[in-house]
Amino acid sequence: MEQRPRTGSFARFWCALDSIFRRQPPIAPASHDIGEYDVVILGSPVWAADMAAPMRTFLAREKGRIAKAAFFCTYAGAGGGIALERMADASGAEPLSILLLTQEDLERTSWRADVESFVKGISAALSEIERPTDELGHTPLPGSNGTKVERRQDLATR
């Protein structure tokens, strides 16, 4: 989360300047160890044909720690593809799945099929990842070091 709020009449102006000059504003520390996850899903709005500045800060801080990633961007003008490329480059991870959604897509229901395809791409990539399991076939949760094992489907009910 960005530590400086972007509110007020000049908010969009500052967002554009941060993107144009590729600034890295301060953000709060991550609450989880990103390196513990098989796949990380990263999304950003597009600001001045680039990823949002807080995403740039996050990716610079976590570069090399993200093994596999899926990326998505939302945008109203242009530059979504450029933003996705820069996100992948900044993360150091090869995209498993990508998604671009325009403002027009979001105003219609056409985005649903695109999101479904994005999720299927992630699911297909996850099915190819070999994960350690215990004797019951349960996968240890990230950060658990194998001491606490739960079924991932059980977590959905919490």
Over residues 7-54, the pLDDT tens digits come to 666 666 666 667 776 777 778 888 889 889 888 999 999 988 889 888
Domain residue limits, the chain = 37-127
Question: What's the confidence (pLDDT) of residue 147?
Answer: 40
pLDDT value at position 27?
82
**Confidence check: pLDDT of 144 > 80:** no
What integer pLDDT is reported at residue 131 of this predicted model?
65
In the predicted structure, residue 149 carries a pLDDT above the cut 50: no
Instruction: For residue 46, give the nearest of 87, 80, 82 by alpha carbon.
Output: 80
Domain 37-127 has CATH 3.40.50.360: yes
Sign of the four-CA dihedral 26, 32, 38, 40:
negative
What are the pLDDT digits (tens) for 82-96?
Answer: 999 999 999 999 899
Short-list 24, 15, 28, CA closest to 59: 24
If phi > 0 it is left, if psi is from -120 to 50 it is alpha, else beta; for residue 105 that is alpha
Whole-number percent of the chain with pLDDT over 70: 70
Q: Does the predicted model carry a pTM greater than 0.75?
A: no
